[in-house]
């Protein structure tokens, strides 16, 4: 009988809290339990509603952040005229190397060497060259042209519009 044990608990608290010699009539005790149960139900609903409000606020914040990410992710690198045909340029700050294997054809890769993580230093002779241990990567697809690196440079995405290169 779980209800009986709850009733006894409520009855025991009331006289102590009020300080008055209460009349522990069975009817009063039951009302107390019912009111308490009702309040507990309301409290439960309020908590549920509060949680709903919080989650909706979070969704709003998340939407704002998501909306600002694409704008923050795009980074202007400079003029496409800075990239020589058959060569490329290393953007050290962005850790990106942009190449132009053929007129108007641009490729971009991570500038972090896949051998030990140095930043590649130059682009010449059709390859992206790492100064640390001599690895070379092809400007056409980032694949290894000369070891010790064994993995290609990861590709990056750039757009060229109006003569400006943007890292996306
Ligand atoms: S870190 Fe580039 S060749 Fe070793």
CATH label of the domain that carries residue 90: 2.102.10.10
Please, is 109 exposed, middle or buried when counting C-beta atoms within 10 Å of its C-beta (0-12, 13-18, 19+)?
buried
Cα angle, residue 135 at apex, residues 129 and 139 outer, rounded to 5°: 45
Residues 112 and 155 in one domain: yes
Which of 19, 53, 73 is the endpoint of a domain?
Answer: 73
Residues 47 and 84 in one domain: no
Q: Is the CB of 118 under 6 A from ligand 1?
A: yes
| pTM across the whole model | 0.59
Residues 163 and 81 in one domain: yes
Q: What average pLDDT does this structure show over 145-159?
A: 97
Q: Is the CB of 96 under 6 A from ligand 1?
A: no
pLDDT at position 167, please?
A: 95
Overall number of domains in the chain: 2
Q: Is the CB of 149 under 6 A from ligand 1?
A: yes
> Tens of pLDDT along 90-125?
999 999 999 999 999 999 999 999 999 999 999 999
Residues 135 and 148 in one domain: yes
Residues 28 and 58 in one domain: yes
CA 137 to ligand 1 center in whole angstroms: 11
Residues 66 and 85 in one domain: no
Q: Among the listed ranges 59-68, 75-84, 120-129, which one has the minimum average pLDDT value?
A: 59-68
Q: What average pLDDT does this structure show over 127-131?
A: 98
C-alpha–C-alpha distance, residues 75 and 91, integer Å: 11
Q: Higher-confidence residue: 66 or 83?
A: 83
Residues 137 and 55 in one domain: no
What residues make up the domain containing 62?
Answer: 2-73
Residues 44 and 84 in one domain: no
Q: Is the CB of 107 under 6 A from ligand 1?
A: no
> Which of 111, 116, 127, 152 most suits a substitution to test ligand 1, by most atoms within 8 Å of the C-beta?
116
- Atom of ligand 1 minimally distant from the CA of 120: 2
Average pLDDT, the chain: 73
pLDDT at position 41, please?
A: 43
Residues 15 and 37 in one domain: yes
Query: What is the longest distance spanned by two Cα atoms in the chain?
Result: 100
Q: Which helix (H) or strand (E) holds 102?
A: strand 96-102
Residues 115 and 61 in one domain: no
Which of 73, 101, 124 is the endpoint of a domain?
Answer: 73
Provide φ and ψ at 122, rounded to 5°.
-155, 165
pLDDT at position 72, please?
A: 57
């Amino acid at each position: 009988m779980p209800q009986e044990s709850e009733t006894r608990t409520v009855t025991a608290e009331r006289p102590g809290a009020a300080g008055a010699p209460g009349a522990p009539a069975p009817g009063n005790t039951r009302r107390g339990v019912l009111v308490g149960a009702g309040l507990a139900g309301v409290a439960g609903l309020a908590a549920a509603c509060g949680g709903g409000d919080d989650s909706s606020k979070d969704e709003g914040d998340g939407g704002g952040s998501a909306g600002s990410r694409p704008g923050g992710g795009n980074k202007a690198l400079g003029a496409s005229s800075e990239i020589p045909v058959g060569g490329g340029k290393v953007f050290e700050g962005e850790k990106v190397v942009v190449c132009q294997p053929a007129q108007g054809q641009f490729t971009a890769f991570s500038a972090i060497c896949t051998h030990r993580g140095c930043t590649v230093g130059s682009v010449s002779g059709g390859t992206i060259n790492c100064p640390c241990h001599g690895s070379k990567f092809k400007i056409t697809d980032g694949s290894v042209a000369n070891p010790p690196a064994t993995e290609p440079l990861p590709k990056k995405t750039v757009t060229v519009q109006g003569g400006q290169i943007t890292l996306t």
